[in-house]
């Protein structure tokens, strides 16, 4: 038997915060407007573009689709991403980006239970840390692995592996919490059990390899719906520490 639940490795974008549709997408469009570009990403188009992880890569892929020459689009993507990050950071610091319902309660419960909190995100430290600090308090996260530290983006497992290394833990002691197929693939490639909490953009993605799939975190007044539960964990209307402990035990016994 392994050591049980000692830590959890958390994604940020779309997982802890519902930031894609009303955060990043809005910031990209503001950056396009400032640059005098006609391009605007509506909700549906942005959902399609999320298949490309990392903002600069996303812009680059978009302009490649538009037939823009490589040298031109790479310079433009770099400049737009830098400005978009500034805009998004301003939005985060001004309270325009909110935690998903139930997240704060889960983090409090994890902290009270002595479960260490780590972050593995494709976001940049420039906006991730101010956002986490405003919403949850930065000091409660033992380690934050951002794209600055792990440039190989999800589905590459680099960020998860680095988080485990910094925690000094085996993967069996620290499940991952993600919202997307890319996040799931990254966590699994690093050896972590993985809980998926879907959002509107990721709901239809392939989560066949997930250990638990929920449509939210759940609260007493808004119980969560279970979309997949291969280990028969049967969470009590919300994601809680006991469910994560039972997941860790089930995953460890399956190894």
208 among known catalytic residues? no
CA distance 64 to 233: 44
Catalytic choice (13, 18, 240, 252): 13
Q: Give long-range contacts, CB 8 A cutoff, 24+ apart: 194-200.
A: 195/239, 195/244, 195/247, 197/15, 197/100, 197/239, 198/227, 199/14, 199/18, 199/20, 199/100, 200/21
13 is catalytic: yes
CA distances from 188 to 14, 185, 226 (A): 18, 5, 20
| β-pairing verdict for 226-228 and 212-214 | antiparallel
Catalytic residue among 11, 211, 240, 252: 11
**Whether the Cβ atoms of residue 52 and residue 61 lie closer than 8 Å to each other:** yes
Active-site residue numbers? 11, 13
């Amino acid at each position: 038997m392994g050591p049980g639940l000692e830590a959890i490795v958390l994604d940020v974008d779309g997982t802890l915060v519902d930031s894609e549709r009303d955060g990043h997408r809005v910031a990209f469009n503001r950056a396009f407007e400032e640059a005098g570009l006609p391009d605007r990403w509506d909700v549906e188009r942005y959902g399609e573009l999320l298949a490309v992880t990392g903002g600069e890569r996303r812009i680059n892929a978009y302009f490649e689709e538009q037939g823009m020459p490589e040298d031109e689009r790479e310079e433009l993507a770099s400049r737009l991403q830098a400005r978009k990050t500034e805009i998004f950071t301003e939005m985060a610091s001004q309270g325009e980006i909110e935690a998903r319902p139930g997240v704060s309660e889960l983090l409090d419960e994890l902290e009270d239970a002595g479960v260490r909190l780590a972050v593995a995100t494709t976001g940049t430290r420039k906006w991730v840390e101010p956002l986490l600090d405003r919403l949850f308090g930065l000091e409660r996260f033992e380690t934050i692995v951002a794209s600055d530290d792990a440039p190989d983006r999800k589905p590459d497992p680099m960020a998860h592996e680095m988080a485990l290394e910094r925690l000094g833990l085996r993967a069996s002691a620290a499940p991952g919490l993600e919202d997307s197929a890319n996040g799931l693939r990254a966590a699994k490639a690093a050896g972590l059990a993985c809980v998926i909490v879907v959002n509107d953009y990721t709901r239809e993605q392939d989560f066949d390899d997930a250990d638990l799939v929920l449509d939210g975190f759940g609260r007493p007044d808004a119980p969560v719906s279970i979309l997949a539960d291969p280990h028969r964990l049967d969470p009590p209307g919300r994601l809680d520490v006991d469910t994560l402990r039972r997941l860790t035990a089930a995953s460890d016994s399956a190894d």
